[in-house]
């Protein structure tokens, strides 16, 4: 493990019980990394992830859940494309959680989440997640405060259940500032190949920036635990976002010490004619 990756893991983790003030976090920080070196560093991180996932899939023992959250245009899709592409789809799936369907609304808010958590040997990536029920639900007053406010403890209990049953959980909050979001929205409008990703409703959501920041801070404070830590990733610089996520995730998987299993039969002397 490189010293820099260990430092990133320590520097970006939200300590359980700590106060979170996102205004004090620089979304353009790079923690000593430089762009000229980042391409090689990311390639090394992706190579580690590919190797680790291959062993996790072959061993069929570990379960890994990766959660990505962030305000609109924070880079969740880009992180999936540049980092999670390291994984073989045979042992990895990406689930985007959009507005719940009528069937999902007929059940408790965690029902649709629990159905998509990883089984043994699998890595599952949530692009948005169960945290929408203390974020957009809160900001838009979709349920009363007494309902969403109890969900922090429910989510912690849910994640502890998963951890107790053998799931490794790592959660990344991608932090950008308001100017960066404006620039990314404008870039979508200016690029015909990306214009489909823009909705006029994004501008209405942008007006709720401060409400979302308050909701993010409460989410990070109340739901970063020893078994399911949050990492705040400075994401104004896409290259650093990808590098940080790749290194932290690779270090987390490396601690599982996945191994290729021994063959079920004694293959001594077997020759393919």
Per-residue confidence (pLDDT) for residue 264, from 0 to 100: 80
Look at domain 3-254 and name its CATH class.
alpha beta
Which candidate, 67, 68, 71, places its Cα nearest to that of 212?
A: 71
Is pLDDT of 4 > 70? no
User: In this model, does residue 268 exceed pLDDT 60?
Assistant: yes
pLDDT in tens, 76-96: 999 999 999 999 999 999 999
Residue 164 tokens read as 């107790």
| pLDDT surpassing 80 at residue 230 | yes
Distance in angstroms (rounded) separating the CA atoms of residues 134 and 156: 12
pLDDT at 270: 87
Mean per-residue pLDDT, 234-243? 98
Q: Give residue 6's pLDDT band: very low, low, confident or very high (50, 70, 90).
A: low
Residue 94, strand partner residues: 125
Residue among 14, 20, 15 at smallest CA distance from 215: 20
Above 50 in pLDDT, residue 3?
no
């Amino acid at each position: 493990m490189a010293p820099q990756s260990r430092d990133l893991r320590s520097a970006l983790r939200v300590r359980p019980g700590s106060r979170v003030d996102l205004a004090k976090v620089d979304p353009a920080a790079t923690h000593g990394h430089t762009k000229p070196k980042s391409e090689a560093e990311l390639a090394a991180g992706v190579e580690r992830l590919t190797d680790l996932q291959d062993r996790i899939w072959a061993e069929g023992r570990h379960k890994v859940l990766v959660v990505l959250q962030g305000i609109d245009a924070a880079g969740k899709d880009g992180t999936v494309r540049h980092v999670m592409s390291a994984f073989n789809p045979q042992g990895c799936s990406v689930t985007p959680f959009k507005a719940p369907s009528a069937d999902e609304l007929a059940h408790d808010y965690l029902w649709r989440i629990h159905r998509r958590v990883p089984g043994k040997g699998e890595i599952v990536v949530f692009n948005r997640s169960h945290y929408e029920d203390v974020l957009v639900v809160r900001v838009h007053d979709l349920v009363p405060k007494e309902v969403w406010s109890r969900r922090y403890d429910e989510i912690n209990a849910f994640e502890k259940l998963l951890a107790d049953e053998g799931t490794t959980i790592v959660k990344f909050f991608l932090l950008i500032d308001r100017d960066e979001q404006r620039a990314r929205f404008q870039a979508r409008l200016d690029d015909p190949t990306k214009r489909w990703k823009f909705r006029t409703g994004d501008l209405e959501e942008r007006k709720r920036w401060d409400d979302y920041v308050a909701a993010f801070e409460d989410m990070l404070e109340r739901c970063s635990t020893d078994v399911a830590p949050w990492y705040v990733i400075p994401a104004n610089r896409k290259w650093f976002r990808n590098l940080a996520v790749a290194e932290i995730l690779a270090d987390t998987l490396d601690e599982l010490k996945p191994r290729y299993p021994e063959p079920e039969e004694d293959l001594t002397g077997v020759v393919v004619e």
